Chain A
Amino acid sequence: MGLALALENAGVPTVAIHTHVFARLAKSVAMANGMPTARQAYVPQPLVDKSAGDLRAYIEGVDPVSKRPFMQEIIEGLTSALSSADIKGLGFERSTPRLLPADSEDNLHRMFMENNWTDFLPIVLPTEERVEAMLKGTSQPRNKIVGRLRPTDFREDWEFDVEKVAVNAVMAGAKPEYLPVILAMASSGLTARSSSTTSFAAFGVVNGPIRNEIGMNSGIGAMGPYNHANMTIGRAWNLLSQNLQGGSTPGETYMGTLGNYFAISGCFAENEERSPWEPLHMRYGFKREESAVTVFRGGRYMQAGYGPRDDWEDKMRRSFAACEARQSPLIVMDPIVARLYEEKGFNKQKLIEWCAENARLPAKEYWNEMWVQTLIHPKAVAGVEPYASYLKAAPGEMLKLFSPGEIHIVVTGGETQGAWRIFEGVRMKDCTVSIDKWR
């Protein structure tokens, strides 16, 4: 869609084809780009696994949105004379007021829910008094710009300041002392509410002294829902992501077909005191006495296990083979597991390197994965390594799935069980963020 609009800007008449479920989204993207009449044509959903004959029938059939012959939409989209609306486009300024008109508590709760400003759980209304109290959690000025977010790459960035983050923190039920963590997550540039059809979510791992200062839980039940700070910080990041980026409304700014429970709240702390290894943030240049949060995109797959038992190597290989090939893993383990690996002679880096060496998939299966085909195959064709070499591999050749730099290990939990899990957790570039700068 962004490409179609860019081509129009370059003077090339263009029609963009989508499947019909994207009609509202395509229209709103065109509108937000000042070209509301950009030509679109639609075919039925889905395309995946349809035969050439099926797809030909789409082409020879009717556009399910306009109800006109599909190819007529295409040809007229390139050849029909422009209207005055096509020539002018549509420019506009949208504003969001600082305060909403006064209303009753019940009406405001209803309004927030009807506008998709909540996660459909009860919220705390962001009154002026509550927001003022929240702002005491940081020394930063209320009008300082924190960052910009958007639901996906082809949409426009929305901007927000410290006060807007505080408003959403209040709604999530957070305390003022949590605000520096929430501001750090908001400043990361990673939205916790992507519009991706694949429903990935996002979650944060907190390191450093602030974990204990604000009472985060890295013991029993560390990954929830047994701690006020963990839960409300993660919830605040999700609420602010949807509200500060211009929405997360199904069919328009959210297209995840299955949704994701991580998108309610995803934040936990590393159990640095019980871990035998350096905490996560030190890998990215922070000192132990500094506080930082690392945000990950993912949460679609999860493998689980215990040990390491005698057959741990086979178990890990099987688990990695079940991961999505393009989405790197975050391994979360109880301190018992970390210490057992330590006794086996593995420090964290050595274990990461073992995982990178042993996380493999046969070439045939690798290249058959949808997102490998969509996103990796073009790179392989363009000669980007290691993918170009992967393309030449025999069907049974075992290809490495992840580099050591893509694999992360975090130690947390309450030592009631030697449990580990492998989550999809892709650390985005520069996404280990200082919390201290937001205090």
Chain B
Amino acid sequence: MAGLLTVHDPRGYPPVVAGKRLAQRLESLNGKTVYLVDCLFDNSAVFMAQMREWFAQNLPQVKLKDIQPRESWVDDPDMRAKVAADGDAAILGVGL
């Protein structure tokens, strides 16, 4: 076809994505241990402290534990292992 150009695709090669299931959900938070994970972004500690207060006032039967990763943005396998071993659920905030 005159006047038409064939050009290369400029994008790289993406990895294959394997589907992963979510963890089984809890029937209720009553009596369960929930880790509040402070992701170390600016002011997230204050936010998580407010979250703790909210639970204390509204769902006092939930056991809360505070924890922080070793560094922001860096995976912390030790912390993950601790949450998995001792916790029933986790709330992470605030930030990616």
Contacts and interface: CB of A to CB of B under 8 A. Distances in A.
Given A9-B20, A13-B26, A159 B12 contact: yes
Nearest to A118: B10
Contacts of B50: 52, 55-56, 59
Interface stretch (A16-24, A227-235, A408-416): A16-24
B6 A128 contact: yes
B46 A243 contact: no
A149 B13 CA distance: 10
Interface string B60-86: 000000001111111110001101100
A88 B59 CA distance: 32
A362 interface: no
A117 interface: yes
A324 interface: no
Contacts of B12: 96, 149, 158-160, 164, 243-246
B94 to A, nearest CB: 5
Interface string A2-46: 111111111111111111001001100101111101110001000
A11 to B, nearest CB: 5
B51 A158 contact: no
A311 B61 CA distance: 65
Contacts of A139: none
Given A3-B80, A13-B90, A149-B12, A375 B72 contact: yes
A58 B54 CA distance: 11
Q: Does more than half of chain B's interface fall in helix, strand or loop, or is it mixed? A: loop
B24 A11 contact: yes
B26 A92 contact: no
Contacts of B29: 75, 78-79
22 contacts: A3-B76, A10-B83, A12-B88, A14-B92, A18-B93, A22-B96, A29-B96, A56-B50, A75-B29, A78-B29, A82-B24, A92-B17, A95-B13, A99-B7, A126-B10, A153-B74, A156-B14, A159-B13, A373-B42, A378-B68, A378-B69, A378-B71
Given A13-B22, A156-B15, A378-B68, 18 more contacts: A3-B37, A13-B88, A15-B92, A33-B20, A43-B47, A55-B47, A79-B28, A80-B25, A86-B21, A91-B17, A93-B17, A94-B14, A156-B14, A160-B13, A171-B10, A240-B10, A374-B41, A378-B69
Interface of B: 1, 3-29, 34, 37, 39-44, 46-47, 49-51, 53-54, 58-59, 68-76, 80-81, 83-84, 87-96
